[in-house]
């Protein structure tokens, strides 16, 4: 599933079970090809349980890292860096 860019926000709908578990506390992965070179200031992931958001400055920080998954370059952002707003 691909995200959309709207008002300088990259917005993507995901299942809560799609979080990565190899990082302590979990993480979300961002497909670098989907936002590289585009005017994105914030990333927003919406699941059935919560709305997660993180600014681009955090994604670019040394607390995040890159990984290749099946030939796609991903930026791994630990859950501890995301702002979480519970939906239900």
For residue 78, what are its two tokens? 């630990």
The residues spanned by each domain of the chain are 4-86
**Whole-structure pTM value:** 0.90
Quick: pLDDT tens for 27-59. 999 999 999 999 999 999 999 999 999 999 999
pLDDT value for 17: 93
On the question of pLDDT at 1 being above 70, the answer is no
Of 71, 79, 69, nearest to 14 by C-alpha is: 79
Quick: pLDDT tens for 15-26. 999 999 988 889
Q: What are phi and psi of 24, to 5 degrees?
A: -55, 125
């Amino acid at each position: 599933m691909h995200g959309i860019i709207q008002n300088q926000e990259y917005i993507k709908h995901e299942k809560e079970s799609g979080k990565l578990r190899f990082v302590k506390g979990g993480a979300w992965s961002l497909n670098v090809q989907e936002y590289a070179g585009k005017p994105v200031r914030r990333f927003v992931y919406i699941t059935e349980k919560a709305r997660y958001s993180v600014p681009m400055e955090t994604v670019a920080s040394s607390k995040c890292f890159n990984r290749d998954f099946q030939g796609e370059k991903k930026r791994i952002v630990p859950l501890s860096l995301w702002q979480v707003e519970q939906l239900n």
